Amino acid sequence: MDSLVLARQTYPGQKNNLDALCRRLGIDNSHRTLHGALLDSEILADVYLLMTGGQTALNLSGKDGDAKGAETIRRLASDRKKLKVIRASADELEEHEQRLDLLEKGGTESLWRKLQIH
């Protein structure tokens, strides 16, 4: 989802950069003195949620701490489709090992081999 396209559709003819969207949606971005990918992505997540009317808070415990939240989690988990797991083929695994060999020849220690679980 391209948030700029969404912003242009939602606010046609208006300025739709991140600062303008924050002002329009009431998001505090006063701590944004530099343009950094991590900070900008966190702010953009808030912008996106407000533009789409999505979830902006996480409250799974219910109003009075009852079992409502746990029931919601169970229902969401049961509705979730099974993830399709695609395993690497023998050829792909061999190519991966060859790439790691090249890295190690260049003096770079392979994290993959350190973390590899057999």
Per-residue pLDDT tens digits for 35-85: 788 888 888 988 888 888 766 565 555 555 555 556 666 666 666 667 688
Give the closest residue to 101 by CA, choosing from 114, 109, 117.
109
Note whether 8 and 48 are same-domain residues.
Answer: yes
Tell me the two tokens of residue 52: 């789409």
| pLDDT value of residue 24 | 92
Is 35 part of the annotated catalytic residue set? Answer: yes
In a domain, 14, yes or no: yes
Output the pLDDT for position 57. Answer: 61
* Number of domains within the chain: 2
Q: How far is CA 66 from CA 33, 57, 78, 79, 95, in A?
A: 42, 18, 20, 22, 53
Question: How far, in Å, CA of 104 to CA of 117, rounded?
Answer: 19
pTM: 0.45
* pLDDT tens digits for range 4-15: 999 999 999 999
Query: Residues 31, 35, 96, 118: which is the catalytic one?
Result: 35
- Same domain, yes or no: 74 and 92: yes
Query: Could you tell me if residue 115 is inside a domain?
Result: no
Cα(31)–Cα(39) distance, rounded to whole angstroms? 9
